[in-house]
Chains A and B, each alone.
Chain A
Amino acid sequence: MPLHPAAQQMIRKVEELSGKPVHVMEDPQIKVMAVATPARGAAPAHFLRYRPGVESLDYVIVYQLGFVERQFSLPPEMRMEVVASPDEQRSGIEAMGLQDFPQDFAKAMVGNLVTQLRTYSIGCRVDDMIRNDMPELRTQQEESIRTQLAENNRALAPEIREKFPKPLVDANTVMNAAFALRWSERLQDPRHAVAYRALGCEAKARELLNALADLPAGPEHDPDLIARWAEVVGLREAFHFAPHSQF
């Protein structure tokens, strides 16, 4: 099925900004809806893999490429990425209460949380762009957001939360709460945020949303936004920013 013109336009934009083609392909192996792998070094292209049968494919593609677009819309010297030294990894493990877990598992959990931190904060910017500039994708966007809200709700189940340390659960919940509050307002459906309010997450989630409001929306401010969110959820010592590696 051909992609929506808005998705095709986004692909062209990323190709123009980066000078490398974008390859979109199905990948039954991936567990998330889609993942974009920006080209580095000698890689001939950016790869965007999506799970077969994924709903709202055009939106998913545009959303993933939105991160790449923000990165490549900056001059090379301003392109930053999130990295963690061994000390920072240890710090993240301690901050999230994972000291007693197997090291590999603990590292992976902190890594996942940092990825969530980056994708949720910058993802807000990407979603704003889609909502404002691509109204033709709004239905797909809202459908996909509702799916994400439902998925996040499942993580509130006691049998899931009790398996992990409280700091880690809280960090994840506050970010999900920010997502729910933001979209419950945009969808004009406060029911999506009821559970998070009931859990007492609203104040911290508002801090995350305030960071979005306080900082300019341009991609050059993305590291500041990520850092502000990291302060709120207790992960500021778990990573640093480094120039985007070409290799």
Chain B
Amino acid sequence: MSEAPHEVHFALAEFDRSQLPPAQRNLQGDAFREAVREHLSEDFLTHQGAAEVIVTQDRITIRWTDSAKTKSLTEVGIGFLKQGDHDKGAGMLRHALERQPDDHDALLNLGMALSDRGELDEAVELLRRLVTLDPSHARSWVALGVAHSRGKRQEEALQAFRKAVALAPQDGYARMNLGAALSQTGGLVEAIDHLRKATDLLPANPQPWFNLAVTCEETGDFIQADQAYQEVLRLDQAGALGQRAEQARSRIAERNFRKSGGGFRGDAVAYCLGALERFEGMPRAEVQKITFEIAMLGSRGLDVNHPGEQYTLRSIPGKFSGLHLLCIEYVGFQIIDPKVDIGFDLSAEFAAARRMHEGDSKRR
């Protein structure tokens, strides 16, 4: 049997309306196209192979594959979703469900796809059907919980995630989602417990680490939070989570910095003043080179709360503490582009340093 897909195109205008039930023969526009699609799709429902009927403004396209050696409709639909073709994937899975309404894979994958697209009511309806058909499938409960959560139904989401964790305590995704839902609803202590387990079960996934970090930060456990953010940076340095972790680490560092120095920091003023003196008269490109090198070095976080001189640069000789470099970076960006936010507010220290520097200049 041929494995090649069959494909036929013909003009919508040539469709014989007498093929439709009498009540549909005078339909126009989208209603007509949908009636044609439904009618033609029925011809394929009794066959095992995959089929697709597309009715556009002026054309009907039918594609199908033979059954024995080819994938099921559901498999083809999931394949489309994996390729990022939501419309084709969802269409194929809907077709699979018309053929077999209790197709678990079709329900799960279509439900998740619709949830991802924000079509939450239909997603929840499909996923509810799925957990009714098979209440023992933890992943289905997770998907239902995610759809609820996206729809701001946190109580329903929590219930679904709890069900998933009860069914599959070793499922890292179930733990991660339950932890995140608890974190959002104020159950921080319980959330941390589940998120820690999630990081054990999914050690290479930055998401549970991030969720854990955020939750620890909310509880005031900045040490644990910073460690978890570091792990996120290690796993996803260039990604969106990595960037957010970087910002969070700066936030924590600044908080610790302020806390340890009682607010205004004289040492930072001194470093800023030194940087102003260093950059005075220096070509802009040179300032940029030094500043960017520190920014790159700092992309994994500079330890501003450790006084030791632990960093070196290619562009400036010597050893530097984290706070020293941060002050040079801050001053550098004030010269190159003051709009840049380095994620650490040294404006007061910089202002003081500038006043001192201007006074020095006048004296000179």
Contact = CB atoms under 8 A, between A and B. Distances in A.
Contacts of A195: 8, 10, 60, 62
Contacts of B361: none
Interface string A141-161: 001001101100110111001
11 contacts: A156-B8, A157-B10, A191-B47, A191-B51, A192-B6, A194-B40, A194-B44, A197-B16, A198-B16, A199-B14, A200-B19
Contacts of A191: 6, 43-44, 47, 51, 64
B319 interface: no
B15 interface: yes
A157 B9 contact: yes
B219 to A, nearest CB: 61
B58 interface: yes
Contacts of B58: 158
Interface in A11-34: none
B18 interface: yes
B47 A198 contact: no
Given A191-B51, A194-B62, A153 B6 contact: yes
A143 B66 CA distance: 13
A161 B10 CA distance: 9
B15 A199 contact: yes
B51 to A, nearest CB: 7
Nearest to A142: B1
B59 interface: yes
A214 B304 CA distance: 97
B40 A198 contact: yes
Contacts of B62: 194-195
Nearest to A190: B43
Given A143-B2, A190-B43, A198 B10 contact: yes
Most buried by B among A143, A150, A194: A194
Interface in B22-36: 36
A158 B51 contact: no
A189 interface: yes
A150 B59 contact: no
A199 B47 contact: no
Given A194-B43, A195-B62, A153 B7 contact: yes
Given A191-B43, A191-B64, A198-B16, A158 B6 contact: no
B351 interface: no
A191 B63 CA distance: 10
Contacts of B66: 189
Interface residues of B, number: 25
Contacts of B18: 200
Most buried by B among A156, A191, A199, A200: A191
Interface in A199-227: 199-200
Given A150-B4, A161-B10, 10 more contacts: A147-B2, A158-B59, A191-B44, A198-B36, A198-B40, A199-B10, A199-B15, A200-B14, A200-B16, A200-B19
A7 B11 CA distance: 41
Interface of B: 2, 4, 6-11, 14-16, 18-19, 36, 40, 43-44, 47, 51, 58-60, 62, 64, 66
B9 A156 contact: yes
Interface in A92-150: 143, 146-147, 149-150
Contacts of A150: 4, 6
Given A191-B44, A195-B62, A158 B19 contact: no
A190 B47 CA distance: 9
B66 to A, nearest CB: 8
Contacts of A194: 40, 43-44, 62
Most buried by B among A149, A161, A189, A190: A189
A194 B226 CA distance: 64
A242 to B, nearest CB: 37
A157 B14 CA distance: 11
A199 B16 contact: yes
A240 to B, nearest CB: 33
Given A199-B15, A200-B16, A153 B8 contact: yes
A192 B16 CA distance: 17
A172 to B, nearest CB: 13
A64 B51 CA distance: 34
Contact of A158 (B11, B43, B47, B64): B11
B46 to A, nearest CB: 8
A200 B36 CA distance: 13
A130 to B, nearest CB: 18
Nearest to B15: A198
B2 A158 contact: no
A181 to B, nearest CB: 13
